[in-house]
Chain A
């Protein structure tokens, strides 16, 4: 679905939903909708990014296809979100990458893994020599910093620019913007995935009972990622402050955090891919699905290669595993601003806007007379 089509369809659906309102209790989307009468582009970009795609409203919808009103909020909003990501992409010339996620991710992974394999092969002693866990003997610390720091720095910059663009995109006539307390509330909602819950029943993947696994797998993924990030941060502290060089013992803090995070990053993405495969086809927006699968698969491959490296770091396979793992991690940072990762940023911003909005009286108020 093109960006314009997705916006027009979303506005049509909001007109129907706003006259019905049965789904008000499921999530933030519908209470936010009720504060509006017209659905301009800014409103649609805001509402669509509030949607966590739990599927509850679709399962409950008396107007879902084959009804002639053909209401399908999860899929339409997913299409709008892809459009949002493109509109907010920085630099704008890279916007087209969101719809080419599988190609982008696969290319980035292949190229950067090949780069590290080549660098490793060129290192003194070659890639397969046993080095008793001495990573820096193959890839000197300085070289790694020189490669990862710019990749990471650019990703942060691109994401920040995207966030600034999204803020502009959803700016509406109310002119009010979130404050500290709203950001805090939004952070809580995001960190607990409050709305990935079908109003308390769980997610609807299609037929069958609503269930909680998607939220659980997302938590594994997010907090697994967080632990891995923490492991890297602690390792940097060890290196620069304490002067302790890698490799660290299995019982050390960086390795413990990384192992725990890595396990979460296996269980979470694997579970999400499993759920994605079972998801009812009418809920699936192809552009969104390929983006999601690419990102989740990359996370899974990063964690699997990381854990394999940990297990085999004292064997001759350490060198090639390290090269592949580092290649995948580099690919992760390079592709970060142009894939599914951005959903967390825009959704958090939308949640903050919602938190601000609901503190004020509903000015689109319908007299309860």
Chain B
């Protein structure tokens, strides 16, 4: 196929959630659309193939969502996790639009299901798609193909011709050759740079070598870099990302949801020196899981160990890799490669600092330590009943926040106010506008769906003139 003859109205870079929402919307508005997806068909959909839900506002119980989740509460949650590092106007736009996402998704083949087993705490705020993200991507690809969106796989945009803020063409690697693909408008929906290990190293130093990339190996950030080089205004910074604690034995890329370990709040976390380093019981796990990737990244060797005893077994989601188990703490330390004496001392000091309380994992209970640094403020129970279990954990990066600044039409802003208004962005590549730091479960897909639809609509309108 000679790509130089392909002259789409709207060129969409990236075939994940945001890209497909944009492509379908633009096509339905009458534009000729070409989607370039860098992955092969089985791995299409970027990080969206590993997702499972999106966060939606609603005033009353609606289909799979319970109770209500109003705009102000949604915004409060976002403000809390980002520490105010968010573009309030764009955040309000996403929240407002999040209520209408599900109807649009259903119309394009999505099905929903009640919150999954072990995730009841999300049943009010997050709508789960039946079968998860890959099923959703399959539905979107079918919908896109049905209405005549052209899609090429293993086609990677490497460079952009952007003149004075006006997109002209993309240089695309496809089947061993470089092609020039021109278009009247561009939707950049190609994700962050989390799979680009060299770039991660620039941001994190040698620590990056110990990161595990939870999602697609294809998000290498070429389009992001090209846009920034062409003068697009940057948001967030290269060090910001959504990162959680993952089993250290996970694959380097693409391990997805199953590699997480949810035992942290039930025991203690120690670093490779056998020392505790953060309050494991600060808040409910769903509200804290997203900080542990960064916390572990700050520890020597970027590794930490969740240590629990028999009382914790069966109280957290099953793990994909079995934990190391032992009848005694020294034996567990040996198996995990931790200093025996230090682990024993850490546990002894922790056990001694626990005040009496009534353990209740479903509430912020009164089981806490006294006179210990760092404290464990809830769910502190002595680690004294064998067998003892330990899981080695590493930072698992989901996606980076460094991105391009957009407006409410998803238009990319260029330095000095230049720009012809034909460059749009959606998804991870602009999520940093809303997520300056921190993470709120399910908001990535909400941002992608909302801004994907906006970008598709505005790009088609731009082409029509």
Contact = CB atoms under 8 A, between A and B. Distances in A.
- How big is chain A's contact interface, by range? 35 or more
B285 A369 contact: yes
Interface in A9-65: 15-16, 18-26, 31, 34, 37, 56-57, 59-64
A21 B128 CA distance: 11
A68 B362 contact: no
Contact of A34 (B117, B121, B362): B117
Interface stretch (A221-229, A250-258, A305-313, A360-368): A360-368
Contacts of A25: 111, 113-114, 128, 130-131
Contact of B42 (A18, A24, A60, A64): A64
Given A23-B131, A60-B132, A368-B362, A201 B111 contact: yes
A368 B131 contact: no
B131 A19 contact: no
A41 B408 CA distance: 56
B314 interface: yes
B118 A21 contact: yes
Contacts of B120: 368
A200 interface: yes
A368 B118 contact: yes
Nearest to B247: A19
Contacts of B361: 367, 369
Contacts of A24: 113, 116-117
Contacts of A366: 117-118, 314-318
A15 B120 CA distance: 21
Which one of A18, A22, A26 has the highest number of Cβ atoms from chain B below 10 Å of its Cβ? A22
A57 B118 CA distance: 19
Given A199-B111, A366-B315, A369-B265, A22 B116 contact: yes
B251 A68 contact: yes
B134 interface: yes
Interface string A50-88: 000000110111111011110000000000000000000
B121 A22 contact: no
Contacts of B134: 59-62
Contacts of B284: 369
B49 interface: yes
B66 interface: no
Contacts of A59: 131, 134-135, 138
Contacts of B320: 15-16, 19
B256 interface: yes
The majority secondary structure among interface residues of chain A is: loop
Given A67-B254, A209-B142, A57 B116 contact: no
Interface in B286-337: 314-320
B415 interface: no
The majority secondary structure among interface residues of chain B is: loop
B52 interface: yes
B135 A20 contact: no
B6 to A, nearest CB: 24
Contacts of A23: 131-132
Contacts of B132: 20, 22-23, 60, 62
Interface in B104-131: 111, 113-114, 116-121, 128, 130-131
Nearest to B112: A25
Which one of B113, B118, B315, B318 has the highest number of Cβ atoms from chain A below 10 Å of its Cβ? B318
A62 B50 contact: yes
Given A15-B320, A37-B318, A366-B316, A199 B113 contact: yes
A142 to B, nearest CB: 58
B141 to A, nearest CB: 11
Contact of B362 (A18, A22, A31, A367): A367
Which one of A21, A362, A367 has the highest number of Cβ atoms from chain B below 10 Å of its Cβ? A367
B258 interface: yes
B117 A37 contact: no
A293 to B, nearest CB: 28
B225 to A, nearest CB: 27
B444 interface: no
Contact of A362 (B50, B117, B259): B117
Nearest to A368: B120
A57 B52 CA distance: 14
A62 B362 contact: no
A20 B258 contact: yes
Interface in A311-369: 362, 364-369
Contact of B135 (A21, A60, A362, A364): A60
B257 A368 contact: no
Given A59-B135, A366-B118, A26 B130 contact: yes
Contacts of B254: 67
A109 to B, nearest CB: 41
Contacts of B285: 369
Given A37-B314, A63-B258, A22 B319 contact: no
A367 B284 CA distance: 11
A63 B42 contact: no
A250 B119 CA distance: 60
Which one of A16, A24, A26 has the highest number of Cβ atoms from chain B below 10 Å of its Cβ? A24
B314 A199 contact: no
B257 A20 contact: yes
Contact of A16 (B133, B258, B314): B258
A67 to B, nearest CB: 7
A19 B258 contact: yes
A173 B361 CA distance: 27
A56 B128 CA distance: 16
Interface string B47-58: 001101000000
Interface in B343-376: 361-363
A72 B398 CA distance: 25
A108 B121 CA distance: 58
Contacts of B52: 22
Contacts of B265: 369
Contacts of A34: 117-118
A22 B118 contact: no
A366 to B, nearest CB: 4
A249 B386 CA distance: 78
A314 B42 CA distance: 58
B257 A56 contact: no
Given A366-B317, A366-B318, A368-B120, 18 more contacts: A19-B318, A21-B116, A21-B117, A21-B118, A22-B116, A23-B132, A60-B132, A62-B256, A63-B256, A199-B130, A362-B117, A367-B315, A367-B361, A367-B362, A368-B119, A369-B121, A369-B363, A369-B379
Interface of A: 15-16, 18-26, 31, 34, 37, 56-57, 59-64, 66-69, 199-201, 209, 362, 364-369
22 contacts: A15-B320, A18-B318, A19-B258, A19-B320, A20-B132, A23-B131, A24-B116, A25-B130, A26-B131, A37-B314, A56-B131, A60-B130, A60-B134, A63-B256, A63-B258, A199-B113, A199-B130, A199-B131, A201-B130, A366-B118, A366-B314, A369-B284
Interface of B: 42, 49-50, 52, 111, 113-114, 116-121, 128, 130-135, 138, 142, 251, 254, 256-260, 265, 284-285, 314-320, 361-363, 379
Query: Which are the 3 A-B pairs with shortest beta-carbon distances?
Result: A22-B132, A60-B131, A25-B113
